[in-house]
A and B are shown apart, each in its own frame.
Chain A
Amino acid sequence: MTSQIEAQAALNVSDAEGDEHAIALAARERRRRRKYLVLFTQVVVLVIILATWEFGTRFGLIDPFFFGSPTGIVLRLADWFANGTAYGPFWEQVWITLEEALLGFVFGVGSGVVLGVLLGEVPFLADVFGPYIKIVNALPRIVLGSIFVIWLGLGLPSKVLLAAVLVFFVVFFNAFQGVRTVDRNLVANARILGASRLQVVQHVVIPSAMTWIIASLHVALGFSIIGAIVGEFLGAQGGLGLVIATAQNTFDASGVFGAMLVIGILALAAEGLMSQIERRLLAWRPKSTSENNIAGI
């Protein structure tokens, strides 16, 4: 009798486990199906936009002189890749812009973090330099590019400097804010445990500000590319900005769109890389659903 009851109980347990397993499977299946549905709809939307554009230009609804056309853009890009631009191979132009943006990003982030942490840690410096930094920040920084071209000429340094300046302010303010919002208890505890001021900065302040700094890097990356391209607009001997400026001067709409497409792909790739780095650096954080949603957008 007892063994029968036990057997029954065991059966019930395995039943319950089976139910849970089935529910989990079904949920996973639903999620998978939804993912494919979203992907499929995205492709459909893209095809509709491209088709409307293409056929609009074919049937004279959209003027290809102003708006280009998808095939025109593809042909223009193919031409660039095959025969190069007026300033040399197309790859070279891409690389020039990329190099400027990357160097600007590195210098901007470096100086932004160093100065942000320094001013965040030393209130006296923050009080003295705070107003000046705000004044410079209030300037439309793009026009600084003109000065940089005058100072540094048409080559790489003037673009790197412009990109770095754009990046600097974004990162600086985030690093500063991050340092200012460090949990005072954590600092007090580290000091009691025997940390020197430098150790407090190294073990508590900078990692704590890292969340803020990393959040700024996405925006900073975009700014570094903007800085490089605007710099090239203002005066350059190569780069995608110059390619766009030339296309603009010859009313080559397909050329402008083509270069835009390349820049977009570069920016997306860099963004993806940045997300990877972010995930690595912030692995310690608890996963929250709201964050995933934002990342999805």
Chain B
Amino acid sequence: MDDAEGMGGVEMTNVTKRFVTPSGEAMTAIRDVNLVVKPGQFCAIVGPTGCGKSTTLTLAAGLERPSAGIVKVSGRPVGGITKGASFVFQTDALLPWKPVEANVALGPIFRGTSKKAALSQAREWLRIVGLSGFEHHYPHQLSGGMRKRVSLAAALINEPTMLLMDEPFSALDVQTRAIMSNELLTLWEKSRPSVMFVTHDLEEAIALADRVVVMTAGPGTVKATFDVDLPRPRGAVQEIRFQQRFLELYRQIWESLREEVTRAYSRQADPNAAKRGAA
């Protein structure tokens, strides 16, 4: 447990989060979640739709407070926005009215760097993610994959010790997603922040992560944790899928995940059961 105290380590102890819906009903998103992400570890969180995967991330980011339990990042309880965290959203959270370089420069500017220095830093990061020459484009002029690269640059420019990713590549087509996954791994190897990566795609989770956490159908809690012992650097995620060890892990984790997916699905089909589950 102690090694979760280092920079970027995440430790959640008996964390429960309830929301009050606009109609005044209480809804439990996650219940008694216990989760440890070591510094520098790549942790993927999988689970059926609506199991509170994203809630777990917002708690780690400090955007929300837990209703019960303790969330610690880098050994300190989270209160306010977590220092050293960066977030990559499913829909790119880029400001459409700012050119790409100004979007990437936001992080340093918010932290008090001069505009000029921030912009030159931003251009450097755009070069790293392969977008030199697009500095002055607006986000809507770029393709989905390019916007994702901008989002990555904007997240990494702050040199986070913890990177939170909420289904970052799910809106991309399959080929682009594979390319972006490879790129993410390359970038991650360089600075090794700890990563919490929410996805509904088990293949993606195993190909990228050191550890896969399976969550139960809502209200979500941690059902099982699997360590992925595939060697690093992983190489192309498209090819790792054919390795024997990958298939074994996939079968193992899918066994665990399948039950939850089935349960969530049947609950969706029956509104009364969903209500009972929420209560």
Residues of A within 8 A of B (CB): 183, 185-186, 188-196, 199, 203-204, 207-208, 210, 284-286
Q: Which 4 A-B pairs have the closest CB atoms?
A: A189-B93, A194-B110, A284-B97, A195-B110
- A284: chain B residues at CB < 8 Å are 96-99, 138, 140
Does B93 lie within 8 Å of A286, measured CB to CB? no
- Among B89, B140, B141, B158, which residue has its beta carbon within 8 angstroms of that of A194? B158
Most buried by A among B62, B82, B87, B91: B87
Please list the residues of chain B having a beta carbon within 8 angstroms of any beta carbon in chain A: 58, 61-63, 81-82, 85-87, 89, 91, 93, 95-99, 106-107, 110-111, 138, 140-141, 154, 158
* Residue among A183, A189, A286 with most chain B CB within 10 A: A189
Complex contacts, A285 vs chain B, CB 8 Å: 96-97, 140
- Cβ of B96 and Cβ of A203 under 8 Å apart? no
Given contacts A188-B87, A286-B140, whether A194 and B107 have CB atoms under 8 Å apart is yes
Chain B nearest Cβ from A231, distance in angstroms: 36
Q: Are B97 and A207 in contact (CB-based, < 8 A)?
A: yes
The CA of A194 and the CA of B157, in the complex, are separated in Å by 12
B97 & A192 in contact (Cβ 8 Å cutoff): no
Alpha-carbon distance between A191 and B111 when the two chains are bound, in angstroms: 11
Looking at the assembled complex, report how far the CB atom of B83 sits from the nearest CB atom of chain A, in whole angstroms. Answer: 9
Q: Are A204 and B95 in contact (CB under 8 A)?
A: yes
Contacting pair A188 B63 (CB below 8 A): yes
Chain A to chain B contacts (Cβ below 8 Å), 22 pairs: A185-B89, A185-B93, A186-B95, A188-B58, A188-B87, A188-B89, A188-B93, A189-B87, A189-B93, A190-B106, A191-B63, A191-B81, A192-B85, A192-B86, A192-B87, A193-B107, A193-B110, A194-B107, A194-B110, A195-B110, A203-B95, A284-B96
In the complex, A60 Cα to B46 Cα: how many Å?
86
Given contacts A188-B61, A285-B96, 16 further A-B contacts (CB under 8 A): A188-B58, A190-B106, A191-B63, A191-B81, A192-B63, A193-B154, A193-B158, A199-B110, A203-B95, A203-B106, A203-B110, A204-B95, A207-B95, A284-B99, A284-B140, A285-B97
On chain A, the residues within 8 Å of B63 by CB distance are: 188, 191-192
* Set of chain A residues within 8 Å of B61, measured between Cβ atoms: 188, 192
Bound complex: CA A191 to CA B98 (Å) = 17
Chain B residues whose CB sits within 8 angstroms of the CB of A286 once the complex forms: 138, 140-141
Q: A203-B106, A284-B96, A284-B138 are in contact. Are A194 and B111 (CB under 8 A)?
A: yes
User: How many whole Å from A198's CB to the nearest CB in chain B?
Assistant: 11
Contacts of A192 in B (CB 8 A): 61-63, 81-82, 85-87
For A199, list chain B residues within 8 Å (CB).
Answer: 110
Distance, CA A283 to CA B101, complexed state (A): 16
Assess whether A210 is in contact with B86, with CB atoms less than 8 Å apart.
no
CB closest residue in chain A, given B98:
A284
* Centre residue among B87, B91, B97 by max chain A CB count within 10 A: B97
> What's the least CB distance linking A137 to chain B, in Å?
26
- Residues of B with C-beta under 8 A to A194: 81, 107, 110-111, 158
CB-defined contacts of A193 to chain B, threshold 8 Å: 86, 106-107, 110, 154, 158
**Chain A residues within an 8 Å CB radius of B93:** 183, 185-186, 188-189
